[in-house]
Amino acid sequence: MADNLQMTTIVLALALAWASGLRLYVVLLLVGVAGYFHWFGFQIPPSLGLLIHPIVIGTSALLVILEFFADKIPGVDTIWDAIHTFIRIPAGALLAAGFVSQGDVAAWTIAAGLLGGTIAAGSHFLKAGSRAVINTSPEPVSNWGASFTEDAIVLGGLWLAFQHPLVFIGLLICIIALTIWLLPKIWRLAKRALPSLTRLTSRTATKQAGQINPTA
- Looking at residue 102, its pLDDT comes to 62
**How far apart (Å, rounded) are the C-alpha atoms in residues 76 and 197?**
11
Q: What's the Cα-to-Cα distance from 26 to each of 6, 134, 141, rounded to whole Å?
A: 24, 23, 23
- Round to whole Å and give the CA distance between 57 and 52: 6
| pLDDT confidence bin for 216, thresholds 50/70/90 | very low
The total number of structural domains in the chain stands at 1
Over the stretch 50-98, which tens digit does the pLDDT of each residue have? 999 999 999 999 999 999 999 988 878 888 998 999 999 999 999 999 8
pTM attached to this predicted model = 0.84
Q: What is the pLDDT of residue 100?
A: 85
**Is 39 within a domain?**
yes
Residues 6+ apart with CB under 8 A from 57: 29, 32, 33, 36, 51
pLDDT number for residue 133: 82
In 10 A of CB 3, how many CB atoms?
7
**Is position 210 within any domain?**
no
Q: What domain range includes position 141?
A: 2-194
Q: Is residue 206 part of a domain?
A: no
